[in-house]
Amino acid sequence: MELPLVVENRLHDLAEWLIAWTTPSEPTPEQWNACCVFAHRGLHDDPRIPENTMASLAAVLRFEDIHGVEFDIRWTKDLVPMVFHDPDLQRVFGNSERLADLTSTELRQRFPLIPTLSEVVQRLGERKHLMIEIKEEHYPEPEHQLEILQETLAGLVPGEHFHFLLLDPATYEKLSAFPKASVLLVGGFNVAEISEAVSSQDFGGIGGQYLLMPDTEVQRHLEQGKIVGTGYPRSWPAFCRELSRGVNYLFSNQAQALAKILAQERLRLSLDPH
């Protein structure tokens, strides 16, 4: 279950406050080199650039040390996957209409900043790693929608160019044509349950808020050869803490700042970004 935005933001604030009182271990050169920073819904520090727009997503192309970008997809009435987080347009655009009630033509005419998944794939494709969150929503034609996803992502290799993010393992039914290794399950307060599903059902990895991800689960999945991702570190202590735990995928709303730290450390250690 996805946390309410207010609760999620308070949790991030609490995590940063707690970490500020600690002295994290220094990451090893190997950990600095293996680090993959992802811009959560793109780079949108500028209030004029909303999250999940082409401007915010394509901005990551300017930063070599930002490995990729995370974004969400929602389906329109005529079954076009659009890059957008919420079921309705209220929070971002001040309009209460739902994407599922609008055709792609209507949506693009009235809200042209919202890109299609196809447009993002064409623009970023093999240039940046795509982390695509599949929302829990009604799929009126699941088989046809799966075919649309396959066609849209046909030029990319699952697990190499993109991964899917799921909050519920059952949502994988909508992605059954894609390998489980290309899917990361994301946990909240249910991280123990999600962790067990990753192991027992052989998904590609696990993600979650870093304060809620115990060291035992991090090590468990690293030993299984899984990807471990956490969000959303903002500060140097939080960044170092996660890297020194072996976390290799870091999702952040301050990806530009983390990329700057990462570039400085790689330069200091004479490391080449992967």
1 CB contacts (<8 Å, ≥6 apart)? 167, 188, 190
pLDDT tens digits, one per residue of 57-82:
999 999 999 999 999 999 999 999 99
Which residues make Cβ contacts (< 8 Å) with residue 49, sequence separation at least 6? 42, 43, 55, 56, 59
- Across the chain, what does the average pLDDT equal? 93
Domain boundaries, the chain: 5-268
Sign of CA dihedral 143, 129, 92, 185: positive
pLDDT at 18 over 80: no
pLDDT at 47: 77
Residue with tokens 């519920």: 168
Residue 274 has pLDDT above 70, yes or no: no
Could you report the per-residue pLDDT of 130-140, keeping only the tens digit for each?
A: 999 999 999 99
Mean pLDDT, residues 115-140: 97
Residue 122 CB partners (closer than 8 Å, separation 6+): none
pLDDT digits (tens, 9 = 90+) for 24-40: 789 999 999 999 999 99
- Give the tens place of pLDDT for each residue, 84-104: 999 999 999 999 999 999 999
What dotted CATH number matches 5-268? 3.20.20.190
**pLDDT for position 25:** 83
Tokens of 49: 């650039």
As a whole-number percent, the residues of the chain with pLDDT over 90 amount to: 83
